[in-house]
Amino acid sequence: MNSKKILNILTIVMFVITAVLLGLFMFGGKVPNQLYTTPVYTSTLLNWAYILFGIAIIAAIIFPIIRLFSRPKQAMKSFIGLAVVVVVVLIAYAMADGTPMKIIGYNGPDNVPSMLILSDTIIYTMYILFAGTILAIIGTEIYRRVK
């Protein structure tokens, strides 16, 4: 079996697991006696998201290192991409605010500066990457029309 076929099978398996967990999350019931509606399988879905995130991080680090030995010029392009992502995260971190929020009825442990900065960093990173994606799509279409 070649590596492309294995990767295709692995992708399908991860997609099926994700679809099943999303179905359980959406239709698996609610936790009783909660102030807000809380799906039963929230923690399971979040743990799966953490696993997928970890796989993505490992792949983003391992594949450029492997490529460094087989195709050094292409590896430098991969490292430039990783450097751009690091810069985007650092910019988002600089924009993050750690001021505790005044939330009525919430006394949980997550309304502290470290968690607020982390969540702001993630949100701002997503905004920046989304804007970059839209700009890349528009720029690519304009470039194709001009060319």
Tokens of 93: 């971190």
pTM of the model: 0.61
Q: What is the pLDDT of residue 87?
A: 96
Amino acid identity, residue 71? R
Helix axes 42-70, 3-27, angle to 10 degrees: 160
Identify the pLDDT of residue 36.
81
- Structure tokens belonging to residue 114: 């470290």
- Tokens encoding 130: 């989304």
Mean pLDDT per block of 10 residues along the chain (147 residues) reads 85 95 90 83 92 90 82 79 91 94 84 92 96 96 93
Q: What angle do CA 54, 56, 57 make, to 5 degrees?
A: 65
Residues 75, 67 contacting (CB under 8 angstroms): yes
